[in-house]
Amino acid sequence: MSGANIIFYLLAAITLVSAVLAVTTRMIFRAAIYLLFCLIGIAGIYFWLQYEFIAAVQIVVYVGGIVVLIIFSIFLTQQAGEELPKQKMGRQLFSALAAFCGMALVMLQLVQHKFTTTANKAVEPTVSNIGNQMLGVEEGGYSLPFEVVSILLLAALIGCIVIALKSKPEAK
């Protein structure tokens, strides 16, 4: 067993264990920190697959952006250190059952399915290749979705400001 395999299984274990802890712990701040480790584990898997650009984007946007945002919102809305109320046993049981049944169904389908792979030459996912295709306007270019996403981000930015704005009392 080579070192690369050991690293893969280690990353997978970190990701899955911290994901389970993030959804089961009753301390909300710890849940955010476990989510952070889970996202870092996924970024490590992307590095392992040699998709370095995606791994960097994952770390910058998820770990540096979304988790920090979540931690801030926890500070703003929650007494830190206070435990979440205990959930009903029946609800937990049924949720676990539903999740397990769904997972069993998907896994069963997965192991029975034979995937067919392409025989074409591989394209290296380097940053220059990604940039050329991202802003390309020819066949297979992604410039239209790129523009649409930029408008979406602008709309989200304005929407956040409008939603979180304190409503001023009406001036007479």
Partner 1 sequence: MMQPGLYHLLFISTALFFIGVYGFFTRRNLVTMLMSVELILNSVNLNFIAFNKYLWYDKMDGLFFTIFIIAIAAAEAAVAIAIIINLYRSHQSIDVENTEDLRY
10 in contact with partner 1 (CB under 8 A): no
Which CB atom, from 169 or from 172, has the smaller least distance to partner 1? Answer: 169
Which CB atom, from 115 or from 172, has the smaller least distance to partner 1? Answer: 115
Which CB atom, from 112 or from 172, has the smaller least distance to partner 1? Answer: 112
Binding mask 11-40 for partner 1 (x = CB under 8 A): -x--xx--xx-xxx---x--xx--x--xx-
**Which is nearest to 54 in space by CA: 147, 134, 125, 124?**
125
**23-26: long-range contacts, CB 8 A cutoff, minimum separation 24:** 26/83, 26/84, 26/86
Residue 81: CB minimum distance to partner 1, A: 15
Q: How far apart are CA 151 and CA 170, in angstroms?
A: 31
Q: How far apart are CA 166 and CA 156, in angstroms?
A: 18
Residues 49-78 that bind partner 1 (CB under 8 A): 49, 51, 53-54, 57-58, 61-62, 65-66, 69-70, 72-74, 76-78
The CA R_g of the chain, rounded to the nearest whole Å, is 22
Which CB atom, from 91 or from 168, has the smaller least distance to partner 1? Answer: 91
Count of residues touching partner 1 (by CB under 8 A): 82
Which CB atom, from 83 or from 172, has the smaller least distance to partner 1? Answer: 83
Enter the tokens of residue 160.
Answer: 């956040």
Q: How far apart are CA 44 and CA 55, in angstroms?
A: 7
CB atoms within 10 A of CB 156: 10
Residue 5: CB minimum distance to partner 1, A: 6
